[in-house]
């Protein structure tokens, strides 16, 4: 029995090794075919773009992140900074940014608290304040290239495009936790977006950077319709394709997640929460299959159950494949960053902790987010932890949670 289980685990690891190789080839092909930045858009009046940037606390290097968005190479855009209230430490940073770049930036305080998703609560206010009809949702811990908005405007010239998101990479690490975080963003999130598009023409929407037409958002019921959804980016991407019949596109230009001082504990907590959210958005067989892209734990378990030279060979192959995959993609996705030897042990620790988070995500259905303890139902539907709470936030939406992912 143990021998059969060992063989099954080793076979799963081998499948994962092949999948890693295919993903790496997709990323290499993407890099080779990527057009030059700043290619001209078609003639005509440029579309105005409103960048909605919800803030919560002071992210690593927040001032420099905001400065990046104040100097984009685009003639008609605005950046609307949002905070929940004046007690948020980000409020002072936002006020300073508005004073420094008044021609680009504005500040909006959140109006009410309509839902359980704090980010969406801010987006409802920010979208209402936006002047333009292209809305770009941009996380506060990101940076972009100067041609970021040019590509968005150019892509929306196709009326069949309903949503644009960008491949993610991670930069700026000073601690081990941030190094692992940036590794994950580059080699799992960003590489997964690219490979899904290259291999099966599937566009994965990631909310770190996400562009929509106002008319499409309103057709879906506005951001208010996802106020009690934790993975609002995933759900909106599904709705754009299934309800509106439009395409969700992965852009060519990357966005850079800035992580500098994260601890290892903070890294683990973040991906424990993320794994729970992710599992509620996809079927369990898909969630199980995605673990194959982390083949080393499976190979090690197989070798422990039935040690042999063959098992050790699979362990060695999984180790080599994962290091080549992660180090190569990490280096390619960060053209102005150096890659040191510290990446190697960070890859191994990252994968071990991610396996722990993935295993927890098989069973757990509660998350602690920004001090709020919430239960997550299918479709990443949020409900309060106890039914005793009164008021509008305690009442689930009338539609079934599964309908969030339906068209």
| CATH value at residue 237 | 3.90.550.10
In a domain, 273, yes or no: no
In a domain, 358, yes or no: no
Residues 88 and 7 in one domain: no
Report pLDDT for 198: 82
Q: 283: which 2 tokens?
A: 């079927």
DSSP 64-103: HHHHHHTT-S-SSEEEEEEESSTTSTHHHHHHHHHHH-TT
Residues 347 and 383 in one domain: no
Residues 257 and 377 in one domain: no
Number of domains in the chain: 3
Helix ranges restricted to H, 220-308? 232-242, 264-281, 284-290, 295-305
Characterize the bridge pairing of strands 372-377 and 366-369.
antiparallel
In a domain, 275, yes or no: no
Please give the residue range of the domain that contains residue 397: 368-405
Report pLDDT for 390: 41
- Distance between CA atoms of residues 350 and 179, nearest Å: 9
**Angle at 79 (CA atoms; ends 277, 243), nearest 5 degrees:** 45
Residues 93 and 183 in one domain: yes
Report pLDDT for 313: 96
In a domain, 35, yes or no: no
In a domain, 36, yes or no: no
Report pLDDT for 391: 40
Residues 324 and 380 in one domain: no
Residues 322 and 187 in one domain: no
Report pLDDT for 37: 45
Q: The pTM is what?
A: 0.88
Residues 19 and 105 in one domain: no
Residues 68 and 214 in one domain: yes
Residues 89 and 198 in one domain: yes
Report pLDDT for 371: 65
Question: Does residue 105 sit in helix, strand or coil?
Answer: strand
Question: Does residue 294 sit in helix, strand or coil?
Answer: coil
Residues of the chain below pLDDT 50: 36-43, 388-402
Residues 218 and 298 in one domain: no
Give the residue from 147, 328, 320, 123 showing the smallest Cα distance to 217.
123
In a domain, 312, yes or no: yes
Report pLDDT for 209: 94
In a domain, 310, yes or no: yes
Report pLDDT for 336: 72
Residues 179 and 115 in one domain: yes
- Distance between CA atoms of residues 53 and 138, nearest Å: 5
Report pLDDT for 241: 92
| 393 and 113 Cβ atoms separated by less than 8 Å | yes
Report pLDDT for 402: 46
Report pLDDT for 284: 93
In a domain, 84, yes or no: yes
DSSP 8-state assignment for residue 186:
I
- Distance between CA atoms of residues 142 and 65, nearest Å: 6
Q: pLDDT tens, 177-223?
A: 999 999 999 999 999 999 988 888 777 888 899 999 999 999 999 99
Residues 10 and 108 in one domain: no
Q: Note the Cα 350 to chain centre separation in Å.
A: 17
- Distance between CA atoms of residues 62 and 78, nearest Å: 18
Report pLDDT for 382: 86
């Amino acid at each position: 029995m143990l021998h059969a289980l060992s063989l099954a685990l080793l076979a799963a690891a081998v499948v994962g090794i092949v999948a890693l190789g295919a993903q790496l080839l997709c990323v290499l092909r993407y890099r080779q075919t990527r057009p030059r930045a700043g290619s001209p858009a078609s003639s005509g009046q440029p579309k105005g773009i409103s960048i909605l940037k919800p803030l919560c606390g002071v992210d690593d290097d927040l001032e420099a992140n905001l400065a990046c968005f104040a100097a984009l190479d685009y003639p008609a855009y605005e950046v609307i900074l949002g905070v929940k209230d004046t007690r948020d430490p980000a409020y002072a940073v936002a006020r300073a940014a508005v004073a420094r770049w008044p021609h680009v930036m504005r500040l909006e305080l959140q109006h009410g608290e309509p839902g359980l998703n704090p980010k969406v609560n801010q987006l409802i206010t920010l979208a209402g304040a936006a002047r333009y009809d292209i809305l770009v949702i941009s996380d506060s811990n990101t940076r972009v290239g100067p041609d970021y908005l040019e590509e968005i405007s150019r892509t929306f010239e196709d009326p069949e495009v309903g949503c644009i998101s960008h491949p993610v990479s991670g930069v700026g690490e000073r601690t081990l936790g941030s190094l692992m975080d940036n590794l994950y963003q580059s080699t799992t999130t960003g590489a997964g977006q690219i490979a899904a598009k290259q291999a099966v023409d599937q566009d994965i929407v990631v909310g770190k950077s996400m562009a929509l037409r106002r008319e499409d958002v309103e057709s879906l019921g506005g951001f208010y319709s996802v106020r009690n959804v934790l993975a609002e980016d995933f759900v909106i991407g599904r709705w754009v394709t299934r309800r509106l019949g439009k395409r969700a596109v992965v852009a060519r230009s990357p966005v850079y997640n800035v992580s500098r001082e994260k601890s290892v504990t903070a890294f683990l907590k973040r991906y424990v929460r993320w794994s729970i959210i992710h599992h509620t958005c996809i079927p369990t067989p898909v969630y199980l299959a995605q673990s194959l892209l982390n083949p080393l734990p499976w190979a090690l378990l197989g070798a422990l159950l039935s040690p042999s030279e063959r098992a050790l060979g699979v362990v060695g192959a999984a180790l080599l494949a994962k290091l080549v995959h992660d180090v190569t993609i990490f280096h390619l996705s960060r053209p102005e960053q150096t890659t040191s030897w510290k990446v190697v042990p960070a890859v191994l620790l990252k994968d071990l902790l991610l396996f722990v988070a993935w295993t927890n995500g098989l069973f757990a259905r509660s998350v602690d987010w920004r001090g709020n303890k919430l239960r997550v139902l299918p479709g990443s539907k949020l409900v309060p932890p106890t039914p005793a709470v009164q008021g509008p936030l305690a009442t689930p939406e009338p539609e079934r949670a599964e309908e969030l992912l339906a068209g």
